[in-house]
Chains A and B, each alone.
Chain A
Amino acid sequence: QKEVEQDPGPLSVPEGAIVSLNCTYSNSAFQYFMWYRQYSRKGPELLMYTYSSGNKEDGRFTAQVDKSSKYISLFIRDSQPSDSATYLCAMRLTTGGGNKLTFGTGTQLKVEL
């Protein structure tokens, strides 16, 4: 079993839809949770960075962390064609392991006109 599970998609939605992206994980010691967006042939771009359980909102993006269920989500409201990319969840421990991240496999999202 992988430490972090993420549906690879592809996920195709119409423009304006609400998108829900999810990851589950097995290591309860993870405390920091991130979502990265990666366009084709580019490096990942940090979208959201949260600590422990709770919600965080930034514009059209909302990140949720439920540590009791070991489940994190990223919601994208009013999705746009420019949101078409691969979304990677990542997480790390509080101490130990440096700042090493454990990634999900990424979900490919396509927002269609």
Chain B
Amino acid sequence: EAGVAQSPRYKIIEKRQSVAFWCNPISGHATLYWYQQILGQGPKLLIQFQNNGVVDDSQLPKDRFSAERLKGVDSTLKIQPAKLEDSAVYLCASSHPGQHTGELFFGEGSRLTVL
């Protein structure tokens, strides 16, 4: 079974530039999550999708961050314009709502450095 795919793995940009991250979840997983993990901290949930719909985006900085999930499969997370404090690893995860284990499957992450 293929895992969660993310790209790019690394991205370096200057502040005020824009960046986009892509995620392809495990086939059949209806729930998709984007987490932000700053160095030395735990992952912080940015947004959670159930199929096409947003379940929770309470901690997404909506003035600069946006996310969409096309056709309930792939997802893109965009930052525009980027700030220095956005330097972090952006983790995508997916889960199957019918799976009662509650287990999240994570991708390898996209590491963003803002200069």
Whether A and B are associated in the same complex: the answer reads no
- B-binding residues in A (CB < 8 A): none
